[in-house]
Amino acid sequence: MSTARRVLVLHGFTQNASIFSKRLGALRKQAKDVEMVFLDGPHILEYADIPGDPTALGGASTSLEDPSLIPRAWWRWKPDSQKAEGLEETLVFLRDRLNVERFDGVMGFSQGAALAGLLSALCPHDSKQQLEHPERYPPFLVDGQPPHPPFKFCVAVSGFKLLDSLSHEIFSSGYSTPTLHVLGKTDIVVTEERSNMLLEVSRNQRLETHEGGHFVPTKSNWGRFLAEFLRSAPSPDIPSPSAIKAAESASSSAAPSGRATPVTGEQEQGGSANGKFVASL
């Protein structure tokens, strides 16, 4: 009897497991056959830790005393020292979780996407006889071994490469886990330049773009695409969101005779025309 796929899901800065789970409610419904496991970042944020309005980052408007509204993070960024404060504690926290649970893949948004890439690089991947490098952060090992088998895939939405020295070490030769990168064309929180730095170290990548900003796209074509990706990645045969949208448009505008009519209007463009992973570096 086959078991459902399990995906580790990592929220963004100022969010938490509850907030991110609610924001992905439509995706969870479309991917009912996939178990999405949402974790809370171990670091609770104070107002002084949050630049500007947390809602602009997809987080809570207030923490109050409700645990479901407490803003959290995987680390606090210290620009003066180029240091991700708390990253080491987060990696140990995730090491202990990965040592007792198994996941087919990892998905993250924004800061969570940056972390998903780091985790993918730390868990060994034997595709094409290439190995990741967990030894580059020895505290991540358990009795000298990685705590978790390789992820089958990684999904990084609005991801970026952390500029911390530990991140540089982990990514020094890139990583091979098949990774779907989802970027918003009008994202002003994580700019194209920052996202490209993660793309540059992602050796086995697929890129899809949407017309919006700093969020996980939720239109029907994107929901269908992401749900299918979580089910069957890294299959190269998953149609891109733009192809799904074109098919939806053709179906909805079909003539009574059943013949499809031409699709008109601007179509949302995907970054992967053939829907396949491409080698990088």
Give the tens place of pLDDT for each residue, 111-129. 999 999 999 999 865 544 3
What's the mean per-residue pLDDT of the chain?
85
For residue 62, name the pLDDT band (cuts at 50, 70, 90): low
Min mean pLDDT across 61-65, 86-90, 241-245 is at: 61-65
pTM score: 0.85
Strand partners, 63: none
Residue 254 has what pLDDT?
Answer: 62
Report the relative pairing of strands 43-44 and 72-73 from DSSP bridges.
antiparallel
CATH 3.40.190.10, applies to 5-238+269-279 = no
CA distance 105 to 194: 23
CA distance 18 to 66: 11
Extract the tokens encoding 120: 């993918």
183 has pLDDT over 50: yes
The residue length of the chain stands at 281
**At CA 170, angle to CA 169 and CA 175, rounded to 5?**
130
- Residue of 172, 151, 152, 150 whose CA lies nearest to 161: 172
CA distance 92 to 97: 9
For residue 249, name the pLDDT band (cuts at 50, 70, 90): confident
Residue 68 has what pLDDT?
Answer: 84
CA distance 230 to 216: 14
